[in-house]
Structures are given as structure tokens and as C-alpha cells.
């Protein structure tokens, strides 16, 4: 399984580079894009490569199957991330997550994501202000994971999504809050030794679920940001005090491209969810992430990373940096994003920070 997952990462990376060259600039969009935001300050400092790195409470957002392998039996995390600071001052993502190991083989988890898009003024075609809306979105998860062996784990998470972008009548159209349900499926390979040295790998299918709509029109619903992610990581242990982890991850959106022609929109709207997954292999919406983490005495953590998105995924490239400090039962994490490429001066993700806090129980397996 390890060879299969690592080979899959390599194939994804080559595909991503080829797609960058031949893709047209047609961004693949979905509803509730806040589900694509990496909510973890640790992974945020490692280029957002979170599928295969060692497990913690925030693994619920990347790979549920890691949790039975965690050293701590119970853990809770909270993260706060001001979002798109270059565009708005009051937009943010806040998350809570936690897990508990029922025994040596099983774990259960829960998480909450809350996205506040601030206050947005709606205007008509003449620029006249109609009303001020306050978009709010949230996702609540319940998860379960189980070891199949000392090295293999599987996980599943069920998700409820609520998205309130606008309510009431605007320009003759009546809007309401949208609701949807989704699931994540994940697998994890743990090939590391007791001291942490060795390979880990993972694969995740995320946001597989219903469409979501904001009006009463039955055929006017949008796809969720379903995705496939494959990751691998290697940890080198030099001595009792010094470790280094290298992580690589590739992600692909499993949604069809939005047509550029209005005449093609009815057919796009009428596509089933499963048909959309298969049609997604033409969209070239890919993301490649690489990250490193240096660990000193299991107390100080220094991180660097790089993330590159293809044209159809938004065409953003950025370097990330982060740090973490462990204090007995608690750990504080911080990450910072620096835009690169040809959009350095107009990247809305510029100056993005994430602040995270993790509480862990003392008991270890």
C-alpha cells in the first residue's frame, strides 16, 4: 500500500505540471469554497500538506484514518484564521476539533468550521445599494476511524453543511440558506518506527455529497468542492533531540468545469453528482503542496512549505512558514503565507496568518 500511495503522489505531481502548461484560464468553481481552506496552523506552515504528516486533533480536517495512530488518547484543537485580509477586514475562519480513542483500534471525532464573510453590500446594475448581507457558513462533522493492522487505518466522516449567503428577495429572486450533507473517506499507512522515523502515506476523498441550492428552483443547485488528495511523508530522526519531516501532497477537485457559454448551463446544472465526479478529470484543477517540519526535543517546531495551484484551481503560488511550541499539555502553532509568482502584488491571500491551540491528554499508548 505504501508503494501504491507514494507512486500515486508522483503521478499527480507530473499531471499537475503538464496541466499548468495546457490549461485555459477557466477557474473551476464550487459552492461553499470555505471547505477548501486549510484550517490548521501546523499544516498551514507546511504548504498545506496535511494528509500524511503525524496525527493530531486537526487530522479530522485532512485524514480521519490517522487518529487511531495518535500518541495521545484524547485531544482538542482550536484555530483562528483571518481570511483575505487584502480584500476585507472582518472575514475569518474559526474551527474546533477533537477526537477520543475508544481503545487501541478505534477513535471517534467531531469538528466544527465557521466561516464569517463579513458585511457585503448588494447593489443593482446601476450601482444603487439594495441591502447589506452578512454571509455565514458552517460545517459540522462526526467521524470514526479504525485500525485494520499495525500499519493500516481507515476513516469516515459525515458532514452537515449550512450556507447562508443571502435571504429575502434581491432583484426579483428569493434567496434562502442552503443546506447539504457530505462524507469523507480516508486511508492511512503508518510505516514509522517507535521513534517516529520512517514513511507515512494517506489518501482522502472529501466532500462527497449532495448539491446545494440557494433558491427554490429545483434545477439551480451547485456542486460541493469534492476532492481527491494523496500524500506521503518521511521523518528522519538524527538523535533523541532532532527530527525532520518532509511531506508531499497533491489534490484534485472532483467537480466539472463551469461552462463559459450560457447555452451549456442547463446541461451543467442537470448533471448528477456521480457524473460530475467522472467529468472532473477534464478540469485540470490541481494543487501541489510540499512542506518540511524540524522538531527539537518534541518542544520546538519550525516549518516551511510551498503550494502551487493550477490555472483551473485559481493559479496561486505561495511560500508558507510557521512555528510551534509545546507546553506540557498544550501546543501553540502559528503560520504565515507569502505570495510568490506573477501575483505577488495582487494576491488576496497575502499576509494570511493562522493561529492554533491544541490541548492533549497526558496518557499515551
Q: What pLDDT score does 215 carry? A: 81
Q: What is the average pLDDT across 218-228?
A: 87
Q: What's the pTM?
A: 0.86
Domain ranges of the chain: 2-360
Confidence of residue 306 (pLDDT cuts 50, 70, 90): very high
Nearest CA to 112 among 70, 84, 77?
77
DSSP string, 198-226: EEEEEEEEEEEE--EESSS-TT-EE----
Nearest CA to 39 among 123, 133, 139?
139
Q: What is the average pLDDT across 104-110?
A: 96
What fold is seen in the domain 2-360? Porin (2.40.160)
Mean pLDDT of the chain: 85
Encode pLDDT of 24-82 as tens digits. 456 788 889 999 988 899 999 999 999 999 999 999 999 999 999 999 999 999 999 98
Q: What pLDDT score does 134 carry? A: 79
Q: What is the average pLDDT across 179-208?
A: 94
At 304, give phi and psi (nearest 5°).
-140, 155
Residue % of the chain over a pLDDT of 90: 55
Q: What pLDDT score does 282 carry? A: 79
pLDDT at residue 277 tops 80:
yes
Confidence of residue 87 (pLDDT cuts 50, 70, 90): low
pLDDT at residue 129 tops 60:
yes
Backbone conformation region of residue 146, classed left if phi is above 0, alpha if psi is from -120 to 50, else beta: beta
pLDDT at residue 100 tops 90:
yes
Q: What pLDDT score does 166 carry? A: 72
Q: What pLDDT score does 284 carry? A: 85
Q: What is the average pLDDT across 272-296?
A: 89
Q: What pLDDT score does 248 carry? A: 97
Q: What pLDDT score does 276 carry? A: 85
C-alpha 71/C-alpha 68 separation (Å) is 9
pLDDT at residue 186 tops 90:
yes
Which has the higher per-residue pLDDT, 235 or 173? Answer: 235
Confidence of residue 191 (pLDDT cuts 50, 70, 90): very high
Cα dist from 280 to 59, 263, 286, whole Å:
26, 20, 11
Confidence of residue 242 (pLDDT cuts 50, 70, 90): very high
pLDDT at residue 281 tops 90:
no
Cα dist from 259 to 16, 27, 263, whole Å:
22, 10, 9
Q: What pLDDT score does 364 carry? A: 59
Which has the higher per-residue pLDDT, 205 or 9? Answer: 205
Q: Which range is most confident: 22-36, 279-293, 349-363?
A: 279-293
Q: Which residues of the chain form beta strands (DSSP E)?
A: 74-82, 92-101, 106-116, 120-123, 129-133, 136-147, 152-164, 168-170, 173-175, 178-190, 198-209, 212-213, 221-222, 227-237, 242-253, 286-296, 300-309, 317-327, 330-339, 353-360
pLDDT at residue 154 tops 80:
yes
Q: What pLDDT score does 218 carry? A: 67
Place of cell 495582487: 346
Q: What is the average pLDDT across 148-155?
A: 96
Lowest mean pLDDT of 30-39, 104-113, 119-128, 171-180, name the range. Answer: 119-128
Q: What pLDDT score does 12 carry? A: 37
Confidence of residue 23 (pLDDT cuts 50, 70, 90): very low
Q: What pLDDT score does 13 carry? A: 37
Amino acid at each position: 500500500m505504501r508503494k501504491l500511495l507514494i507512486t500515486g503522489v508522483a503521478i499527480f505531481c507530473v499531471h499537475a505540471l503538464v496541466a499548468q502548461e495546457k490549461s485555459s484560464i477557466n477557474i473551476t468553481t464550487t459552492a461553499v469554497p470555505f471547505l477548501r481552506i486549510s484550517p490548521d496552523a501546523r499544516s498551514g506552515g507546511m504548504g498545506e500538506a496535511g494528509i500524511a504528516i503525524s496525527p493530531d486533533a486537526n487530522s479530522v480536517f485532512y485524514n480521519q484514518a490517522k487518529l487511531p495512530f495518535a500518541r495521545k488518547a484524547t485531544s482538542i484543537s482550536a484555530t483562528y484564521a483571518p481570511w483575505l485580509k487584502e480584500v476585507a477586514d472582518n472575514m475569518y475562519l474559526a474551527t474546533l476539533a477533537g477526537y477520543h480513542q475508544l481503545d487501541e483500534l478505534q477513535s471517534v471525532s467531531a469538528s466544527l468550521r465557521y466561516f464569517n464573510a463579513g458585511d457585503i453590500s448588494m447593489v443593482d446594475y446601476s450601482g444603487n445599494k439594495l441591502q447589506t448581507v452578512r454571509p455565514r457558513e458552517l460545517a459540522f462533522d462526526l467521524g470514526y476511524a479504525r485500525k485494520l493492522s499495525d500499519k493500516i487505518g481507515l476513516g469516515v466522516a459525515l458532514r452537515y453543511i449550512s450556507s447562508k449567503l443571502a435571504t429575502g428577495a434581491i432583484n426579483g429572486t428569493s434567496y434562502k440558506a442552503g443546506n447539504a450533507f457530505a462524507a469523507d473517506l480516508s486511508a492511512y499507512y503508518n510505516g514509522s518506527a517507535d521513534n517516529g522515523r520512517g514513511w507515512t502515506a494517506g489518501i482522502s476523498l472529501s466532500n462527497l455529497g449532495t448539491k446545494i441550492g440557494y433558491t427554490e428552483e429545483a434545477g439551480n443547485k451547485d456542486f460541493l468542492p469534492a476532492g481527491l488528495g494523496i500524500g506521503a511523508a518521511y521523518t528522519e530522526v538524527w538523535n533523541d533531540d532532532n527530527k525532520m519531516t518532509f511531506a508531499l501532497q497533491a489534490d484534485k477537485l472532483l467537480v466539472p468545469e463551469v461552462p463559459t457559454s450560457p447555452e451549456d448551463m442547463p446541461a451543467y446544472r442537470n448533471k448528477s453528482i456521480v457524473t460530475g465526479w467522472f467529468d472532473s478529470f477534464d478540469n485540470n484543477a490541481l494543487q501541489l503542496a510540499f512542506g518540511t517540519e524540524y522538531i527539537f526535543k518534541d518542544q520546538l517546531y519550525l516549518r516551511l512549505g510551498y503550494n502551487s495551484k493550477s490555472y483551473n484551481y485559481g493559479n496561486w503560488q505561495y511560500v508558507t512558514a510557521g512555528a510551534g511550541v509545546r507546553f506540557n499539555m498544550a501546543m501553540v502553532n502559528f503560520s504565515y503565507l507569502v505570495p510568490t509568482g506573477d501575483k505577488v502584488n495582487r494576491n488576496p491571500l497575502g499576509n494570511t496568518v493562522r493561529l492554533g491551540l491544541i490541548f492533549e491528554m497526558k496518557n499515551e499508548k
